[in-house]
Structure 1
Amino acid sequence: MTTINYINTPEKLTAVCALIREASWLALDTEFLREKTYYPKFCLLQIATPDWVACIDPIALPDLGELFAAIYNPNIIKVFHSCRQDLEIFFQVTGKLPTPIFDTQVAAPLLGFQDNPGYAMLVSSFLNINLSKAHTRADWSKRPLTEAQIEYAADDVIYLCQIYQIIIKKLAELGRADWLKQDFAELSNPDIYHIDPAKAWLKIKGKNKLTGKQLSIIQAVTEWREKTAQREDRPKSWLLKDELLFDIAKLQPENISDLAAVRGINERVLHRYGKELCEIITAAKNQPPIPLHEQGRPTKKTQQQEAILDILTALVRIRAEENSLNPSILASRKDLEALLFNDDNDDADGCPLLHGWRYTMAGKELVGLLKGELVLGIQADKLAIMAAHN
């Protein structure tokens, strides 16, 4: 059984940093809480290599500068599973992101798994181990941590080490070891983890059903909610739930009495922010909304557009079969629609087919089809992609 090093003193931290600096790669995971806060509360950092495993206590160690300096060494690969929340903590603590990284959730579909497979699925598939769920809802901020909690947390990186080694071996055997470099590089883009309150409305589902004053109001109120949640470090839903944003946008309350009549409004929010919210709503009604990005995509496609999508789907199926992938992993119908209705097919925003391994495998040819540079034809009783003859 692997000995778990619990790191809760500066001396132990210095010792584990020496081990980190000798590693070529590290498996990492975090435990955190954010039920009562806007920002995640960093509670534990697990690190492992094939030779050792450590659970580092950031609550007991307020100064982690030496640790992050060691981890951020660009010669050390940082291995995660579903890294975004972990990297959000790294970015919050240090103001920057580590490179290079490897994410097993991103890599696994290249080996035939579904898109975004869960960690338990990979552990079961690769190692034939069923993960315990005993401490899934544990309060990781409470001290002391039990021995069972520490073992539970350590297991995640112990198994991650094993999974990583299997995945990179299989990727190399398939000649796909370099396919994910761009995908992983994009995960270390600070823009992903820097939340701009002015753009928070873009994540609100159903916003495309609003127009004019309603859209302007939901944009303004969502920005206010994000700023207030950040400033006070409290969950956004504690201020206004998403459904309340829509009710406010539709009812357009002009004063505190009108706002109080909105079903579900929190009394604390009403008394503390009511006047401010009414002023924001009134101002928003008198200014044009930020245009929706979805405007370029028609709500109902023509028969010609459906036919083009069918042709693009055929190319996807060809390339997926050649590479032993499920076509839905390579591109969904929604992805193809994003490509078709993109005003500039060289702009990767919002379309996974325009970057990373998907672009290499099919995206470049799909763009060629849409530009008329390539055609889909039949050769030797098989579909084939050929250069267009003008």
Structure 2
Amino acid sequence: MIETTAALEEACTKLAKSDFITIDTEFLRESTFWPELCLIQMASPDLEVIVDPLAKGIDLAPFFALMADSSVVKVFHAARQDIEIIFHLGNLIPHPIFDTQVAAMVCGFGDSVSYDQLVQKVKNVHIDKTSRFTDWSRRPLSDKQLEYALADVTHLRDVYLRLREELEREGRADWLTEEMNILESRETYDLHPDDAWQRLKMRLRKPQELAVIKYVAAWREREARNRNVPRSRVLKDDAIYEIAQQQPKDAEALGRLRTISKGWERSNAGAAIIEAVNEALALPKAEMPHVHRHVQAPDGAAASVELLKVLLRLTSEKHGVAAKVIANTEDLERIAAEGDKADVGAMHGWRRELFGDLALKLISGGVGLRFVDKRVEAVEF
């Protein structure tokens, strides 16, 4: 393993001469808010390295400089968590990037295909998973553990070349642009505490309840970051929902809640919750958050959504693109209810050309589904 800044700088200089490099990280985050980076694996067509970010005195500046080098494509599989770590530690987003999981969906390898499944399909190589649950923070790591970690980037080279070739052959390279733009956006990783409530499932709808959720979730987000502990260790989601419904304005009321431990209402955290609730309820109603209500689905819309699901499956199979990357169930529900006014991904760009326009024809009677030779097919009238 690379354990010194000088060795890291030398390796990154060599890697930077390649058109692309493959990257993976190993980390722990079960007991922390911020993931603890434990290992960095990188490979170019002619070099493979493992970096120990826990080595005493090592400076990761050369690695971050490589991540910022726009002349080198950074290849990840399921990139979001790796990029989140790089963003948190280096305050930068790698650019440009190529996510093989997204590319695999566009190339018809299925929905959210795992790395080992993709390697199996592309290279017919079976990856030994016995080291998957390694505690990567422990030292020393065995040769078997290091071999497993390195395999996450060595096989990825061939996977990338195969997917890149297929995308270019099928004229689908631009299809990845939208997803890569999301992965390269700072907003994807730099969530402001005041927006943390939007990650929660919206079980409640009233403006006052939403205001309380927003303020309490923001407090929890700041507390979790400051203490570097998981959000659930500060306050569970169920407690936020109950606080929003019951809206306790003092310690006595907070202490009566089912999700609050006995005596917790008298703690500093309890006092902060009460303050957040009262601040939320003091907002003018016009400043309270609202959840966008979609157009009410007409009678029979449930059956329409089922037909759209069949059409989506047919489109996915015909073009060799994972259904998940074309549209999701919420997209279909909104198309059934709102038609051409549905502002969803399936109604924009290549997704509209592939599926959205056909979906509109289906719900307007311009396309029918029929059963022929034990198969379903779409027929335009």
With the length of structure 2 as denominator, give the TM-score of the two structures: 0.85
Counterpart residue identity of residue 105, structure 2: P
Offset at residue 86 of structure 1 (A): 0.6
- Is residue 116 from structure 1 mapped to residue 112 from structure 2 by the alignment? yes
Offset at residue 261 of structure 1 (A): 3.2
The residue number in structure 1 matching 2:140 is 144
Identity of aligned residues (%): 33
Aligned partners of 1:208 and 1:292 also within 8 Å: no
1:326-353 residue CA offsets vs partner (Å, 9 max, x unmatched): 6555323422224456799485xxx332
Offset at residue 144 of structure 1 (A): 2.9
Farther-moved stretch of structure 1 (253-262 vs 184-193): 253-262
Counterpart residue identity of residue 17, structure 1: C
1:216-236 residue CA offsets vs partner (Å, 9 max, x unmatched): 222211111112112222211
The residue number in structure 1 matching 2:290 is 291
1:357-390 residue CA offsets vs partner (Å, 9 max, x unmatched): 4245334x36976999xx8358xx97348xxxxx
Aligned partners of 2:305 and 2:333 also within 8 Å: yes
Aligned partner (choices 14, 19, 23) of residue 14 of structure 2 = 19
Counterpart residue identity of residue 258, structure 1: A
The residue number in structure 2 matching 1:78 is 74
Offset at residue 290 of structure 1 (A): 0.4
Alpha-carbon distance change, 355 to 8 in structure 1, aligned in 2, over 3 angstroms:
farther
- In the TM superposition, what are the counterparts of 1:244-283 in structure 2 within 5 Å? 244-266=239-261, 270=265, 271-283=267-279
Aligned partners of 2:105 and 2:325 also within 8 Å: yes
Aligned partners of 1:105 and 1:116 also within 8 Å: yes
CA distance in 1, matches of 2:253, 2:58: 47
Counterpart residue identity of residue 366, structure 2: L
- In the TM superposition, what are the counterparts of 1:11-90 in structure 2 within 5 Å? 11-60=6-55, 62-90=58-86
Q: How many residues align?
A: 368
Instruction: Give ranges in structure 1 of 5+ residues lacking alignment.
Output: 1-5, 386-390
Farther-moved stretch of structure 1 (255-264 vs 36-45): 255-264
Aligned partners of 2:239 and 2:259 also within 8 Å: yes
The residue number in structure 2 matching 1:242 is 237
Aligned partner (choices 361, 365, 390) of residue 354 of structure 2 = 361
CA distance in 1, matches of 2:304, 2:363: 12
SS in 1 for 2:83: helix
- In the TM superposition, what are the counterparts of 1:317-336 in structure 2 within 5 Å? 319-325=315-321, 327=323, 329-336=325-332
CA distance in 1, matches of 2:145, 2:363: 56
Counterpart residue identity of residue 106, structure 1: V
CA distance in 2, matches of 1:163, 1:17: 22
SS in 1 for 2:16: helix
Farther-moved stretch of structure 1 (32-41 vs 169-178): 169-178
CA distance in 2, matches of 1:344, 1:92: 40
CA distance in 2, matches of 1:250, 1:343: 35
Q: CA RMSD for the aligned pairs? A: 3.0
SS in 2 for 1:273: helix
Aligned partners of 2:75 and 2:97 also within 8 Å: yes
Aligned partners of 1:345 and 1:367 also within 8 Å: no
Aligned partners of 2:312 and 2:355 also within 8 Å: yes
Aligned partners of 1:20 and 1:71 also within 8 Å: no
CA distance in 1, matches of 2:342, 2:258: 46
Aligned partner (choices 216, 223, 228) of residue 221 of structure 1 = 216
Offset at residue 66 of structure 1 (A): 2.0
Aligned partners of 2:100 and 2:160 also within 8 Å: yes
CA distance in 2, matches of 1:107, 1:337: 26
1:277-306 residue CA offsets vs partner (Å, 9 max, x unmatched): 11221232333330012x1243xx213655
Offset at residue 166 of structure 1 (A): 2.0
Aligned partners of 2:255 and 2:264 also within 8 Å: no
1:290-324 residue CA offsets vs partner (Å, 9 max, x unmatched): 0012x1243xx213655765776676466445423
Offset at residue 104 of structure 1 (A): 0.9
Alpha-carbon distance change, 227 to 342 in structure 1, aligned in 2, over 3 angstroms:
farther
CA distance in 2, matches of 1:153, 1:16: 17
1:199-226 residue CA offsets vs partner (Å, 9 max, x unmatched): 1111111x24342433322221111111
SS in 2 for 1:209: coil
Counterpart residue identity of residue 187, structure 1: L
CA distance in 2, matches of 1:306, 1:297: 14
With the length of structure 1 as denominator, give the TM-score of the two structures: 0.83
1:249-289 residue CA offsets vs partner (Å, 9 max, x unmatched): 22322322332333343579642311121122123233333
SS in 2 for 1:254: coil
Alpha-carbon distance change, 104 to 208 in structure 1, aligned in 2, over 3 angstroms:
same
Farther-moved stretch of structure 1 (314-323 vs 58-67): 314-323
CA distance in 2, matches of 1:382, 1:280: 54
- Is residue 376 from structure 1 mapped to residue 366 from structure 2 by the alignment? yes
CA distance in 1, matches of 2:245, 2:216: 12
CA distance in 2, matches of 1:310, 1:274: 47
CA distance in 2, matches of 1:326, 1:29: 24
